Amino acid sequence: MTAFDLTNKVAIITGGGSGIGEQISRVFSDAGADVRIFEFNAEAGESVAAAIRANGGKATSYAGDVSQQADMIRLCNEIAEETGHLDILINNAGIAHIGKLHDTKETDFDRIYDVNIKGVYNAMFAVIHHMMKQKSGVIINMGSIAALVGLPERFAYSTSKGAVELMTYTVARDYLDYNIRCNSIAPARVHTPFVDNYLATNYPGQEKEMFEKLSKTQPIGRMAKPVEIANLARYLCSEEASFITGTNFPIDGGFVKLNT
């Protein structure tokens, strides 16, 4: 038996069409999971699903908006009816915002709330009844070190990730009797297309210099790779992690404990 095996597990991955979500989709497929991608960008989601299928894996993409509860319920019910079980939810979809309190507009805060907080709630709400019925399931919420330390100019984003961490603990506690495990992952900076786009937009001509500067804010001296986050998620969803619930896992190159 392969370590951290997910064979025949139905895994719903929100925001699975790019960045960390894409790597989770690919890693889970390699572990044998039946990957179901929920993606706001339908073209990106289908591209990842098609690549997984071309490599011999099982993957289906669905266009949906995590901020709309009706979308999440409809899609989860559809998958449950087709497969007979929902085993894993990876709550990965999220958006970023840069700004201090005084320059965070109400519309900015509302959008962060809708996706990063309400979206996480919507996805969990949509799967929890199925997991309760089958008396099993694993939920992984994507948090951030922004919930653990005071990062500059991340007021709304940090607020949302703090909520994600506390939702994780309460769900873990409330569903112990149903054999449903719930944990969160808190990455530091991860080298995704978002980082490259941010640097190109805000530091044109200085991308390389600024990339090195941001990389060195992690004591380990570099940003995380998306696949490293995906590998942790795979472990937490496997039987080898069956004793782990109600825990937040920083994966941060030493940022939280070693940045003094």
Cite the active site residues: 157
The DSSP annotation for 135-156 comes to T-EEEEEE--GGGTS--TTBHH
Residues in the chain: 260
Max alpha carbon distance in the chain (Å)? 55
What is the rounded distance in angstroms from the CA atom of residue 211 to the CA atom of residue 144?
19
Nearest-angstrom CA–CA distance, 125 and 171: 10
Distance CA(221)–CA(214), nearest Å, equals 9
Q: Are 157 and 179 in contact (CB under 8 A)?
A: no
